[in-house]
Structure 1
């Protein structure tokens, strides 16, 4: 059993590589609840940023496995802009860190045999790739979007530019594309990510890192649900709760977080071999009222629906729910890509997202220490943390915010987090 006092590895007044020197330091143990975007990012950064002279063990808890929740069935369209084209809050940092984690995952996947990937962790994803770098196209569908996108194209992120293109250029990328205002916006640096393959590869990178440490660090996947987080209080130096929508169902957190749940259905469409033509091999994915995440010349994901206040977090979709999703999404998709009407339904998956409140900076995730919120007995120890409310932008936010909260946990210092991410505690009269 660990000490009741926090054992901080990094002084918050020094660099992340500096550590507090304590003789005969026992190994530290951290628990990460949830194996989605947030949880695996936190686990990676705890291992990566832990001082090299310190022994560290990280247990990742998830009753289903890697990518078993909403993260694993997300659309995987990666870019740093809002639907209206505005650069998101700290978009540059988020974009940079996400690209770094993608590189880490791709390296791990390339160096590992197929047998090294976790088997049976969750239902298989639709696609067979990890990252598809073909860009994203956003048709201008109304005057407001055209104005906003044009303005933001002039002030876009250098690492992910927004190009304004005309109808001919857009149809060279995607033949038969419909452009109501004869204009579109092309993000050549944007990409599709297969979320399950990415998360499995990033977890493999965590295991590789632990193996290379020659016993100094260790990471374990524990397939078990935690109903009461306080049952871990005596076992770990810190617990980071990254359970997405399931945060709302934890007894000690129910009704205490400003989160709303939203179930989204993503459909899988295929073009039958008997149908002439196909989606262009190098064609970008499409962002519109319904998005099309291209998996290949004859495979597309289409999404997503929004069912607010749902409590159904099962990835399985009934025939009735799938029919309703198609009825809602197909007209929106065919308005910009009429050829989608030739494609056939091949399956559907769903996820329950945790949507945060809207702030002056947009919809931002919730981070922070929650010791007093859940009634932890070791007052002031910064033992329990939350990282949730990634909403529909978990893929973009998870890298940078996972890095920030990992450092805060290592330092036992919540003040290292941007105040925009912890202000929800003040708004809800929660103090730590």
Structure 2
């Protein structure tokens, strides 16, 4: 707390002794602080806390948001995000964007209600920052609220879906529809078994736009706090390649690694994380402009052996392929890779939506998923302190948010919140043991 007689705003955070000098040529995209000329902390003020978040995807921006929001009142905090590709430039930014708390068999995931709630809270914050909550134009949408439909294609899958649909969240309910009801939602839908499970409150997110909005929300939190006379927060983005963790250890209280599939490439973590990489390709299609029949403006997206995420009446993304053990992090897709992907995806999509044959291929995009090991509670994110894993003594605490796999959009809210609490309190026990037990699992090689 400041001295009782002080009425002046706090002095700006003092500079890091080494790191900013070594990053003099980096691109500083965003800086939020109360003043620009650095000066030492005034007498009576606590030393500022400095956090580095490596990665500006779902996990990284969730951690940054919660560090800014959960840091104590009357505190001085700096959160620096590092990502050489910028906000949403990695796998998060090319994801399909379908959001719901269920497995492909419509079973509620472990702690699915908490994951869903925390993701929805972040989405609301992003919408507020983006100021698009009331937009009706599809090309401006951050979120398409039209639900998701799941028609099974085998008798076994139908039986499992029907059983699992009996238990659901009120905040993301499930409805069992016959073929007539399903086809009223999606004209031309093929419902081979007279059964489909409908998630009316499930969402389709524009991932890149959402991440940009969440980044803006973080900026707003820092700006609002720094306008106070009793606290100060900085939020910065650096477009900087990360070679190793040593470059951060002397300048930060904690470093949170949110690099997805790239985490294992850091020399300190090579062969130490039980993660498998999987490259996924998503194909984008558009309906020709002279087509009379458009996809319904309120028709849901479709989940089947392939998923179809519709963004308006004329655009759809179809995914995804699974190329295990890939180390190709390039988001661009070659003509050959795109052709192979569409040959795999189109028959699966046509099995439930034959009309996809009228749509024209536009482009493909790809990203690497970091897949966690399977546990009794499902495939869960890997959270926790890494100091023992790295095996080095340091005044800086290293933390991991990884292994979000194909559910990064669902998992990122709660994973970021739990990690931020643990980082701020310097207590890994703030994280449930189900997310930290991965340390006993042999690393993938």
TM-score (norm 2): 0.86
Equivalent of 1:392 in 386, 396, 406:
406
Pairs aligned (count): 395
Aligned to 1:318: 334
Cα drift, residue 275 of structure 1: 2.1
Aligned to 1:408: 422
Deviations 1:314-355 (A, max 9, x none): 110011111001000000000000000010001111001100
TM-score (norm 1): 0.89
Give the unaligned 5+ runs of structure 1. Answer: 3-21, 113-125
Q: Give the whole-Å Cα distance in 2 for the aligned partners of 1:111 and 1:351.
A: 27
Q: Report SS of the residue matched to 1:88.
A: coil
2:294 to 245, 264, 278: 278
Q: 2:145: which partner in 1?
A: 133
Determine which structure has more spread, i.e. the larger CA radius of gyration.
2
Alignment of 1:235-384 (within 5 A): 235-378=251-394, 383-384=397-398
In the alignment, is residue 57 of structure 1 matched against residue 75 of structure 2? Answer: no
- Counterpart of 1:214 (choices 226, 232, 252) is 226
SS at match of 1:376: coil
Q: Corresponding residue for 1:90?
A: 111
Residue 111 of structure 1: how far off its partner (Å): 8.2
* Residue pairs, 1:73-112, within 5 angstroms: 73-110=94-131
**1:128 CA drift (Å):** 4.3
Alignment of 1:194 onto 2:206: yes
Q: CA deviation at 1:127?
A: 6.2
Cα deviations by residue, 1:144-179 (Å, 9 ceiling, x for unpaired): 221221122111111101100000000000011111
Q: Quick one: distance in 1 between partners of 2:414 and 2:48?
A: 26
- Asked if structure 1 preserves the Cα contact closer than 8 Å seen for 2:82 and 2:240, the reply is yes
State yes or no: 1:179 paired with 2:191: yes
1:39-94, Cα deviation, whole Å (9 max, x unpaired): 00000000000011110000000001000110000000000000111101100001
Aligned to 1:38: 59
State the 1:143 CA deviation.
1.8
Equivalent position of 1:121 in the other structure: none
Deviation at 1:266, TM superposition (A): 0.6
**Following the alignment from structure 2 to structure 1, what is the Cα–Cα distance between the partners of residues 412 and 363?**
27
Q: Is the 8 A contact 1:230 1:376 kept in 2?
A: no
Secondary structure at 2:284 match in 1: strand
RMSD over aligned CA atoms reads 1.7
Alignment match of 2:45 (pick from 18, 24, 39) = 24
Given that 2:274 and 2:441 are in contact with CA atoms closer than 8 Å, whether structure 1 keeps it comes out as no
Match of 1:11 in 2: none
Q: Is the 8 A contact 2:328 2:368 kept in 1?
A: yes
Which residue of 1 is the match for residue 180 of structure 2? 168
* Off by >6 Å, runs of 4+ in structure 1: none
Distance 1:135 1:372 in 2: 44
Whether the aligned pair in 2 keeps the contact of 1:369 and 1:382 (CA below 8 Å) is: no
Task: Give the match for residue 423 of structure 1.
Answer: 437
Most deviating of 41-50 and 419-428: 419-428
What SS does the aligned partner of 2:352 have? coil
SS at match of 1:212: helix
Corresponding residue for residue 147 of structure 1: 159
Whole-angstrom distance in 2 between the partners of 1:407 and 1:365: 16
The answer to whether the 8 A contact 1:104-1:205 is kept is yes
1:111 and 1:300 map into 2 onto residues whose CA distance is 21
Q: Kindly provide the CA deviation profile for residues 368-392 of structure 1, in whole angstroms up to 9, marking residues without a partner as x.
A: 10112223322xx670001000000
1:109-120 aligned within 5 A: 109-110=130-131
Would the aligned equivalents of 2:296 and 2:313 in 1 still touch at CA under 8 Å?
yes
CA contact (8 A) 1:382 1:409 kept: no
CA contact (8 A) 2:132 2:142 kept: no
Structure 2 runs not aligned, ≥5 long: 1-15, 18-42
Aligned-pair CA distance for 1:276? 2.4
SS in 1 for 2:208: helix
